[in-house]
Structure 1
Amino acid sequence: MIKRTQLSEFFLMLVLAVLPSIVLALARPVTVMTLTGAIGPAGADYVQRGVARAAQEGSQLVVLQLDTPGGLDTAMRAIIKTILSAPLPVACHVAPGGARAASAGTYILYACHIAAMAPGTNLGAATPVALHAPFMDPEPSKEKRDKDERQSGKPATPDESATTPLRQKQVNDAAAYIRGLAQLRGRNADWAERAVREAVSLPAEDALRLGVVDYLAADTPALLAQLDGKTIKVLAETRLLQTAGAPLLPYQPDWRTQILAAITDPSIALLLMTIGIYGLLFEFMNPGAVAPGVLGAICLLLALYGLQLLPVNYAGLALILLGLAFMVAEVFLPSFGALGLGGIAAFVAGALILIDTDLPGFGIPPALVASLALLSALLIAAMTGVALKTRRRARVGGLDDMRGGVAEVLDVAGDAIWVRLGGETWRAVSVTPLQRQQKVRVIGRKGLVLEVAPLDLHDKGA
């Protein structure tokens, strides 16, 4: 017989063998998100919906893999607000190797509950990029800074070089913002302020040593292994992380995010706006074509929606619309190319200053502007050629222009004579008897009745 002690040991071993599987099955999942490229409205929407979905699905943690050169201030602040108000902890992981969290990415990293980097990554250079709107003071040029150095006898520090009041406001606001995030998360606030004022950067190993980040992990499983058993404070509550072996729930950008990213790309927005205006133009020129009008309206609305989410220079937008209007007017007005050339120049100038920022990923390539300008010029030339041909064409007149035309007799029934003229059937009268298939010439008209005469008799009389 099996002894009771042996039976107990057997059940104990069985429980110990099955327990890890039970714990793993009961472990709350971890949502993994990926944010790459320039941070814009699409990225902000992606993070907001991803964090909300993770909380709804009961995830214990959100891991945000970050690789960005920077982005728009409005999008960055929207992401940070989402992180600060999230009902679950958010870990920012700058990964994989070779990735970076520059400019706006540094602020997002500081805002997260957990900051981690993979070996071979870097962060920093968080100085705000100046927006060059017409009403803003320009940043001092290098020549001016060199002149100030010679006059003062000492090198200009980054703060001294940013001498305009507006620039100082931007830098001071950004420095206070990132310092507040650093103090909230207990990270190195002094280096964070240097990243703003001096645009310094750090590799991953130095960031860990200086207390800028919390962990160094090559990938997500390695990070989760280090986080297992840690306690994180979230909205005045303490959360215990049980991440060892926790199931991962990837949340990739869906079709909505991809479409939003496409239409908020300045190049795509400019292209959509051009197509939309020309589509509506063709519809107005050819009423009833339907397709150009439908396509043009859709493209124009998408372009306007994308542009209202971007830092648009309205002077540039006005120049683009003015240029397109001039190019269209060139077809209808005898300006001998003045309106067309002026329209192309206005379109190019407006497109180059349309997006009011120097941030990477938000500029319009000059090659695209040149291509659209060339395409518009070819379109103008084609429409002008069609207009000139139309003007040279003989005028198709009304009923009075039928005089002198040659018709064919279709039927003769007493006084009722029917003739075909220009593919149309008309009633006619004649003082000379006529026969079917006889050629006659129109010599007059009374209302809707034509006066005709035999062709040979009329020509002899002429």
Structure 2
Amino acid sequence: MKRLFPALGFALALVSSAAPAAPAGNGAVVIIPIRDEIESSIVYVVRRGIREATDGGARAVILDMNTPGGRGDAMEEIMEMVEGFKGETVTYVNKKALSAGAFIALATKRIWMAPASTIGAAAPILMGPGGDVQQLPSTFQKKISSAFSARLRATAQRNGHRPELADAMVKETEGFALDGVTVVKKGDILTLTDTEATKKYGKPPAPLLAEGVAADLEELLAKLGLAGATIQRIEPTGAERVARFITAISPVLLLIGIAGIYLEFKTPGVVLPGVIGVLALLIFFFGHYIAGLSGSEELILFLVGLILIGVELFLLPGHVLPGFLGVVCILVSLLWAMVEKLPSAPPLPDAPPLPAMAVFQAPMLKLAGALIGAGILVAILLRVLPKSKRPYGGLVLTRQLDKEKGFASAETRSELLGKEGIALTMLRPSGTARFGEEVVDVITEGEFLPPGSRVEVTETRGAQVVVKKR
């Protein structure tokens, strides 16, 4: 314990080492990076950037975007925050804004492109645990595409973009043309290059989607008339980096947590495996909470599970039900924390039932993998630890004490086999029981039994009498 607190202090120092930037001054420009896959941890970065821009009275917020897309729920939150900002909002497509990135770009009032950049391909898909696209029933696919299309059209209209483009980015359309030029063919999903997005149509001529092309952010600021503005770049803080790291190693934390709790059940009183397991799962929830992947509900359910397991171990040993419910609560909380919810849709789709299973597929596979890995780890530990000298080796006698070496075993109690009796004390798992007029020291196979339980002798190992509940 003496070493634990300095370590925690050092970890907290690392988390808080990235001090927040000074608030944006009046007329400043806040640049928020949206890089790589859009996930819930990015929501925290964007939220902090929008808050600092709002508090400091910034003139504009620029989203420096290069993303293939990502989670729908994270996208929805970012869109709402961006549209809630009262100043100028600009997306700079700095290579690509695909899928969820296209949604977010249409939530800004202005869009600019980098050379050779692309935007579009916003059809909703469900990714499998290996990164492969999951096939959904056509009815459900149409339902989700229709909801996304309506959401994107409304967003485009509010921010002065062409709603028909938004519709064509989400679902296969009948195709449409402007000034006799086909913008998207029938049955295609729209993706635009920088040249296509900035091409002008109509009278008076207006860009199809993006206002223009800028080679870099400095050129973009000049073209927006913001060359002399104070620039504030938002970067991830230490806590956000730690959260990303924790979510990346979450399968390992699940494995350690499950294995630790199981070992505590098998070796009650040793304490250390249980402590390590609980700490690993608490770190799992800490990272997912900071990253925005889970809320307080999941953590509360996890703590309820721990309390129920504690009741089973210390208050009602042998009753099974509290321990069973505790394990169920813990497993459900872990699964719930990893489930991705589609925007504007219930956690469990109402019909058909298959998509609900598809939504749970990746978390269930991760949890199943952790359970299998924990089983393998426990099997290895049970074989290795007794042979090691520390810390468990001293608790296990490895030397054979046979007659050839001069050791005599205690008298066997084989006459007790099959006899029934009453537990006089709590069996944890050892204690005493009465068989007729005789009081005998007994032990269960690991089951905890309260006083008064009826027991039966199932095995004798020398002087050791093994019983089970009748």
**TM-score (norm. length: structure 1):** 0.53
Query: Which stretches in structure 2 are left out of the alignment for 5+ residues?
Result: 1-24, 173-188, 200-206, 299-304, 306-330, 342-354, 388-395, 403-407, 412-470
Q: Which has the higher helix share?
A: 1
Question: How far 1:260 moved relative to its partner?
Answer: 2.6
Query: Which stretches in structure 1 are left out of the alignment for 5+ residues?
Result: 1-25, 141-161, 229-242, 315-320, 322-346, 396-400, 405-462
Question: How far 1:279 moved relative to its partner?
Answer: 3.2
Partner of 1:207: 197
2:244 is equivalent to residue 261 of structure 1: yes
2:298 is equivalent to residue 302 of structure 1: no
Partner of 1:430: none
Query: 1:206-285 alignment to 2 at 5 Å?
Result: 206-209=196-199, 210-228=207-225, 243-265=226-248, 268-282=249-263
Render the CA deviation track for 1:187-237: whole Å, top value 9, x for unaligned: 122122111013321111211115212232121111111111xxxxxxxxx
Question: How far 1:121 moved relative to its partner?
Answer: 1.0
SS of the aligned residue for 1:193 comes to helix
Question: How far 1:277 moved relative to its partner?
Answer: 2.2
Q: Which amino acid aligns with 2:116?
A: G
Cα distance in 2 for residues equivalent to 1:249 and 1:45: 17
Cα distance in 2 for residues equivalent to 1:298 and 1:257: 20
Name which of 141, 145, 165 aligns with 1:171: 145
Conserved in 1, the CA contact under 8 Å of 2:31 and 2:234? Answer: yes
Q: Which amino acid aligns with 2:71?
A: L
Cα distance in 2 for residues equivalent to 1:54 and 1:295: 42
Change (3 A) 1:53 1:288: farther
Cα distance in 2 for residues equivalent to 1:75 and 1:403: 67
Question: How far 1:289 moved relative to its partner?
Answer: 6.5
2:78 is equivalent to residue 104 of structure 1: no
Question: How far 1:108 moved relative to its partner?
Answer: 0.3
Cα distance in 2 for residues equivalent to 1:37 and 1:363: 20
Query: 1:76-95 alignment to 2 at 5 Å?
Result: 76-95=75-94
Change (3 A) 1:305 1:168: farther
Render the CA deviation track for 1:321-373: whole Å, top value 9, x for unaligned: 9xxxxxxxxxxxxxxxxxxxxxxxxx9xx99xx766999xx979x99998995
Change (3 A) 1:383 1:83: same
Q: Which amino acid aligns with 1:117?
A: M
Question: How far 1:28 moved relative to its partner?
Answer: 2.5
Cα distance in 1 for residues equivalent to 2:149 and 2:114: 26
Partner of 1:35: 34
Change (3 A) 1:62 1:292: farther
SS of the aligned residue for 2:232 comes to strand
Conserved in 2, the CA contact under 8 Å of 1:215 and 1:223? Answer: no
Cα distance in 2 for residues equivalent to 1:206 and 1:288: 69
Max Rg structure = 1
Cα distance in 2 for residues equivalent to 1:287 and 1:84: 55
> How many residues get paired?
292
Q: Which amino acid aligns with 1:119?
A: P
Partner of 2:54: 55
Conserved in 1, the CA contact under 8 Å of 2:254 and 2:367? Answer: no
Cα distance in 2 for residues equivalent to 1:403 and 1:131: 63
**TM-score (norm. length: structure 2):** 0.53
2:156 is equivalent to residue 182 of structure 1: yes
Partner of 1:116: 112
Question: How far 1:403 moved relative to its partner?
Answer: 9.4
Change (3 A) 1:171 1:391: same
SS of the aligned residue for 1:49 comes to helix
Amino-acid identity (%): 27
SS of the aligned residue for 1:34 comes to strand
Conserved in 2, the CA contact under 8 Å of 1:132 and 1:138? Answer: no
Question: How far 1:181 moved relative to its partner?
Answer: 1.3
Cα distance in 2 for residues equivalent to 1:302 and 1:254: 18
Conserved in 2, the CA contact under 8 Å of 1:41 and 1:264? Answer: no
Question: How far 1:45 moved relative to its partner?
Answer: 1.6
SS of the aligned residue for 2:97 comes to strand
Cα distance in 1 for residues equivalent to 2:241 and 2:152: 29
Instruction: Please provide the CA RMSD for this pair.
Output: 4.4
Change (3 A) 1:276 1:79: same
